[in-house]
Structure 1
Amino acid sequence: MFTGIVQAAVPVVALVERPQLVTLTLELPERLCTGLAIGSSVAVNGTCLTITGFEGRLVHFDAMLETLRVTNLGRLAVGDRVNVERAARHGDEIGGHVLSGHVHALAEIIRIERPENNHEVVFRAPAALMKYLLPKGFVALNGCSLTIGRVEGDTFDVWLIPETLRATTYGELQVGALVNLEIDAQTQAIVDTVERVLAERGLLAAAG
């Protein structure tokens, strides 16, 4: 489990590509290296990955075919920075919202606006997921727990404070970038339950 509060933005220092498998190596800050163990989970751009090895601050992860298909990890290059978060522990403060690290799809940045002291990012998401993206609801984008602003058609926006831009990779992302999107599990459960109940009562088609 993760909270969507990114703990660091770190560089990819090595990539080893094999058929349908990529091993990536990240350099973590010292403060995130305490208690590292093979088999531990770390969110990398919001994707839950398992540590397969480490030497000092260099930590290795394997990303298999399905992960490479659904997420942006297969598009990384050496030197790119990624958002990381160690798995939450019982008793930790949850400053964002509960995340699984299971990415649903990629969302594309289609516009960035920078009014004075503000930073708005507009995304386009797959149409099938838009019913789960509600104004003032939660969404995780590249592992960041964010509040949704406006929702229009297949687009939505978020507004980023300076601290988010400083602490994550969002200060570097440009229009056209693809980010990992994880919808809020509670929102998904509520929407799916309501749809199922309406369908059972024969009301869903009439409501649409």
Structure 2
Amino acid sequence: MFTGIIEAVGTIKALDNLGHDIRLTVVAGKMDMSDVYLGDSIATNGVCLTVVEKGSNYYKADVSAETIKYTGFAHYQSGSSVNLEKAMRPDSRFGGHIVSGHVDGVGAVESITEHTRYVEVWVKAPDELAKYIAHKGSITVDGVSLTVNEVKGASFMLWLIPHTLKETVIGDYKIGTKVNLEVDVIARYLERLMLGDKAAKSDKADISMSFLAENGYLK
């Protein structure tokens, strides 16, 4: 479990082909590796990866073909910068929101507008994720816990302060940059909960306006 508060920006040093999978080597930047052990989890641009080898300033993790398919790892290469966060401790501050490290889809940066004290960024999410993105709700972008400030269809807008731009890879975004998205886990649970008894009879949640009306959620 993570909080979306980035600890450091790392650099991909190598992506070694293991057949269907790749072994990723990440230089950890300023992140303290002294309390990282084999088997620990590190969110790498929002993707929960398991440490299989480590040194004083790097770690290695295996990335499956499934993960490559559904995340931005398909676009990464040696030298790419990545946001890093170690799994949260039960006695640490909860500064962001609940982040699982399970990416729901890949979005793309649509526009970047600089203002006096912040930068306005619009991101286009996959259409199937639009229903989970709410005004003033939480979303994880490349592992960063952020607040949605406006929504238009499947696009949403973020206001980014100088600290976030400086301490994460978001400062390097350009129009067209692919980003890992994880929607708020509470929205996922609510969708499933609203199915009620029908959840046991369906392989996937199918919440529609007619479903809401039939089950008393709409008048």
User: TM-score with structure 1 length normalisation?
Assistant: 0.92
Q: Which residue of 2 aligns with 1:202?
A: 214
Residue identity opposite 2:27 in structure 1: E
Shift of 1:19: 2.4
CA contact (8 A) 1:50 1:61 kept: yes
After superposition, what is the alpha-carbon deviation per residue over 1:84-123, rounded to whole angstroms, capped at 9, x for unaligned?
Answer: 0000011110100011100000011111111222201101
Q: How many pairs align?
A: 207
CA contact (8 A) 2:16 2:24 kept: yes
**In the alignment, is residue 58 of structure 1 matched against residue 58 of structure 2?**
yes
CA contact (8 A) 1:32 1:86 kept: no
Aligned-partner Cα distance in 2 for 1:127–1:109: 15
Aligned-partner Cα distance in 2 for 1:77–1:69: 15
Structure 1's consecutive aligned runs of 4 or more residues displaced over 3 angstroms after TM superposition are 191-198
Aligned-partner Cα distance in 2 for 1:62–1:188: 27
Shift of 1:79: 0.9
Q: Which residue of 1 aligns with 2:164?
A: 164
Aligned-partner Cα distance in 2 for 1:91–1:166: 27
Unpaired stretches in structure 2, ≥5 consecutive residues: 198-209
Q: Which residue of 2 aligns with 1:130?
A: 130
After superposition, where does 1:1-208 map in structure 2 within 5 Å? 1-29=1-29, 31-194=31-194, 199=211, 202-203=214-215
- What's the secondary structure of 1:5's corresponding residue? coil
- 1:200–1:110: structure 2 CA closer, same or farther, 3 Å change rule? closer
- Percentage identity across aligned positions? 32
Residue identity opposite 2:98 in structure 1: V
Shift of 1:195: 6.1
Shift of 1:54: 1.3
- What's the secondary structure of 1:67's corresponding residue? helix
- 1:15–1:90: structure 2 CA closer, same or farther, 3 Å change rule? same
CA contact (8 A) 1:45 1:142 kept: yes
Shift of 1:82: 0.2
Unpaired stretches in structure 1, ≥5 consecutive residues: none
Residue identity opposite 2:112 in structure 1: I
User: TM-score with structure 2 length normalisation?
Assistant: 0.88
- What's the secondary structure of 1:32's corresponding residue? coil
Q: Pairwise CA RMSD of aligned residues?
A: 2.1
Aligned-partner Cα distance in 1 for 2:133–2:87: 25
After superposition, what is the alpha-carbon deviation per residue over 1:128-170, rounded to whole angstroms, capped at 9, x for unaligned?
Answer: 2111100000000000000001101111111100000000001
